[in-house]
Chains A and B, each alone.
Chain A
Amino acid sequence: MSDNNIMKGGPGTGLLILSAVVLVVSFGYVMFQLMTVGHAAFNVSSKLPWGQPISTYLYFALASSGLGLIASLPLVFGFKQYYGIAKRAIFLAFIILISGMAVLALELGHTFRMLWAIPFNMQIQSAMFWMGVFYAADLLFLLWKFQKMEAGDWDSRNTKIIGIASFLGVLLASGNLALIFGMMSMRPFWYDGSLPIYFYLTAITSGMAALVFFTYLAYGFTRSNMPEKLQIVFTGGLPKLFATVLGLTILFVTVRAITGLYANNPEVYHVWADYLFASPLYILSLVFGLLLPFALMMSAKLRVNPQIQILVAVLTFGGLFAERYYFVVGGQVIPLFQGTWAWDMLQYTPSVTEWALTIMGAAMMFTLYVLGEKYFDLSAAPQLERAPRTAEPRQATA
């Protein structure tokens, strides 16, 4: 297989050094702040306890789930034309999840205590307990799956079973993550049984953005450098799928917004009317992060254009980061009781330390990504196209 992967050469090393430096500096800064100032270095409070570190974690965890779901197209559902993206998708899912978990770990009051306190107390009533279980399983299956691919085993029975288990793990992990919010009846902005669907859709959208961006990055943003299998994917069904999930995400946000704005319930209505739609940044993120990418991907000509694909991936990245942030913060801006301590909507802007945590997560993702491109062949796909089932007609043989 031709290898024009620039991450294997000098540019990759440059990016590796840059991202590793950013990682070390941001991690060092966060640690220093936590040791000296403590969690007071965050701008969250007892009134609004979950801020940008939580939304960053959510963003990473769901992008990972999205990648897992995309990889299941060839690995579980037999869309063999997508084999070329599977390995990179699985690898990205793994490292993005690790990066998200690192951010979450530093957000907690007691990081290491979590490692024994959650498994030993078996609080099965808590969705957060299940988050631990499902994401741990997800991580394990991703690793296992990747190791199978490394060994060149794409099609054996075991690989298939692991693929299916991994797919179910992803569905459970991200669906349950949605319910951590969706089951909170005392937080009406979140309280919504259909939230898992919203999470699946946005997960696939952000996963798609990550896949497109990082694949192009590996080949110096030049599609003709990619192996043929990948080029076919990027000019075939993938852009259409991207357009579809973007459209469905927009539909879901629209329906939530209409319901919220129509309802008299002040804890939902005012979030939409006086927080989200009152924020120019939120509106910008909708227009440039979701609507514009959708419009571009709807054009049959533009959606196969490499520059447009990269632009859309970057815009969607930003758009969904904002979407997650406003989702997490929006659920808390209306005080439980209006009065002493909170006479109006609660105010929150992330602190420097909270931003440093987000940057740390991103730097970790880039660092691991370059290492992965350097040490593995992430564009690998099965050598031989074997007929998937004996029942299907065999290809003509000579």
Chain B
Amino acid sequence: MAKWGMVIDLDKCTGCQACTTACAMENDTLPGESWQDVLFYNEGEYPSAQMKWLPRPCMQCEDPSCVHVCPTRATYKDEDAGGIVFVDWNKCIGCKYCMIACPYGVRFFADEQPLVEPDIRDTYPGENGQMWSPPYQNPEQDWRRGIGIQPKGVVSKCTFCYHKVSKAPEGVADLDEDDPELKEYVPACVRTCAPKARFFGDLDNPESNVNRLIADKKGARLLDHTGNRPQVYYLGAGASIPAFRPRES
């Protein structure tokens, strides 16, 4: 089985948020509850202040702390599915311990006050257990893997678009959106990225482009000291986020 990995080249990323939008469309997430978003931040002060950004999906960690803490095994890492970390919506009890334990802040309870107003749930109230039911929905639903529209009371997160990736031909080294044969299997954020800053492939395959990029272009993991060992790698300058500093008001 493959071990799916993502490579994000920060020197190419323009911070356009097309990935965030594509993810929200693909997975019908509520506005703001983006399983993948681009985090904008600043570093330094005038005259050397910088405006920076970092696209941030779930890292599908090799040693995921969210899985360790989950008391029900609702959150699990599926080695047979490329090492993707899923949430089983039939098992999650909504204790939110995984949200405490994830160092990357990429898990969503969503049954909370709206992040963006007006609250779209008022316009499209939930039916059949869904938190909200928009008129267009991705037909792919698999609650055992946290795919579909999130029900109330559980936690959701990026699935590396497993509903697409799982249909790719066996043994393929990379899922490249430029390959007409493969483009349907590419995760939404990767496929849509205009400057081609994102790559997706098999980290276990020595021939894969993602492995080559990590080796040749100095791929780095975000917050490596956590020991979670992400399956997402960043290329280029600035895969580091400055520590917290209170704002001077």
User: Interface residues, chain A, CB within 8 Å of chain B?
Assistant: 38-40, 42-47, 49-50, 108-111, 113-114, 117-118, 121, 123, 125-129, 131-132, 180, 184-187, 266-267, 270, 274, 332, 334-341, 343-345
Q: List 19 A-B contacts (CB under 8 A).
A: A39-B112, A40-B114, A43-B113, A45-B112, A45-B115, A108-B94, A108-B95, A109-B109, A109-B154, A110-B94, A111-B93, A123-B70, A126-B70, A129-B71, A184-B101, A186-B101, A266-B243, A270-B244, A336-B105
A39 and B226 within 8 A (CB): no
Tell me whether A109 and B111 are in contact in the complex, defined as CB-CB below 8 angstroms, given that A50-B96, A117-B72 are known contacts: yes
B69 and A187 within 8 A (CB): no
A345 to chain B, nearest CB (A): 6
B22 within 8 A of partner (CB): no
A335 and B244 within 8 A (CB): yes
B109 and A46 within 8 A (CB): yes
Chain B interface, DSSP helix/strand/loop, else mixed: loop
A182 to chain B, nearest CB (A): 12
Q: Which of A44, A131, A180, A338 contacts B244 (CB 8 A)?
A: A338
Chain A residues with Cβ below 8 Å from B103 are 186, 336
Chain B residues with Cβ below 8 Å from A335 are 105, 244
Q: Which residue of A lies closest to B52 (CB)?
A: A339
Q: Which residue of B lies closest to A345 (CB)?
A: B246
B152 within 8 A of partner (CB): yes
A284 to chain B, nearest CB (A): 22
A39 and B71 within 8 A (CB): no
A128 to B94, CA, bound (A): 12
A109 and B93 within 8 A (CB): yes
A332 to B111, CA, bound (A): 19
A270 to chain B, nearest CB (A): 6
Tell me whether A46 and B108 are in contact in the complex, defined as CB-CB below 8 angstroms, given that A108-B94, A339-B39 are known contacts: yes
B124 within 8 A of partner (CB): no
B247 and A117 within 8 A (CB): no
A337 and B241 within 8 A (CB): yes
Q: Which residues of B (88-137) have their CB < 8 Å from a CB of A?
A: 91-97, 99-105, 107-115
Chain B residues with Cβ below 8 Å from A118 are 71-72, 93
B40 and A109 within 8 A (CB): no
B74 and A117 within 8 A (CB): yes
Binary contact track B234-249/A, C-beta < 8 Å → 1, others 0: 0000000111111100
Chain A residues with Cβ below 8 Å from B56 are 337
A311 to B114, CA, bound (A): 43
A38 and B105 within 8 A (CB): no
Tell me whether A340 and B109 are in contact in the complex, defined as CB-CB below 8 angstroms, given that A110-B93, A126-B68 are known contacts: no
Chain A residues with Cβ below 8 Å from B67 are 125
**Listed residue (B152, B227, B246) with the most chain A CB atoms within 10 angstroms of its CB:** B246
Chain B residues with Cβ below 8 Å from A43 are 113
Q: Which of B33, B95, B99, B246 contacts A344 (CB 8 A)?
A: B246
Q: How large is the interface on B (under 10, 10 to 19, 20 to 34, 35 or more residues)?
A: 35 or more
**Listed residue (A129, A186, A266) with the most chain B CB atoms within 10 angstroms of its CB:** A186
A345 to B246, CA, bound (A): 7
Q: Which of A114, A131, A336 contacts B93 (CB 8 A)?
A: A114
**Listed residue (B97, B99, B100, B113) with the most chain A CB atoms within 10 angstroms of its CB:** B100
Q: Which residues of B (56-95) have their CB < 8 Å from a CB of A?
A: 56, 65, 67-74, 91-95
B212 to chain A, nearest CB (A): 29
Chain B residues with Cβ below 8 Å from A339 are 39-42, 54, 241
A181 to chain B, nearest CB (A): 8
B93 and A266 within 8 A (CB): no
Chain B residues with Cβ below 8 Å from A45 are 109, 112-113, 115
B70 and A39 within 8 A (CB): no
Q: Which residues of B (9-62) have their CB < 8 Å from a CB of A?
A: 32-33, 37-42, 54, 56
A114 to B56, CA, bound (A): 31
B71 and A46 within 8 A (CB): no
A8 to B237, CA, bound (A): 74
Chain A residues with Cβ below 8 Å from B152 are 38-39, 109
Chain B residues with Cβ below 8 Å from A266 are 243-245
B93 and A113 within 8 A (CB): yes
Binary contact track B143-175/A, C-beta < 8 Å → 1, others 0: 000000000111100000000000000000000
Q: Which residue of A lies closest to B42 (CB)?
A: A339
A386 to chain B, nearest CB (A): 45
**Listed residue (A43, A50, A109, A267) with the most chain B CB atoms within 10 angstroms of its CB:** A109
A267 and B244 within 8 A (CB): yes
B67 to chain A, nearest CB (A): 8
B151 to chain A, nearest CB (A): 9
B226 and A109 within 8 A (CB): no
Q: Which of B69, B72, B153 contacts A39 (CB 8 A)?
A: B153
A123 and B71 within 8 A (CB): yes
Q: Which of B68, B69, B112, B241 contacts A46 (CB 8 A)?
A: B112
A114 to B97, CA, bound (A): 13
Q: Which of A38, A40, A49 contacts B99 (CB 8 A)?
A: A49
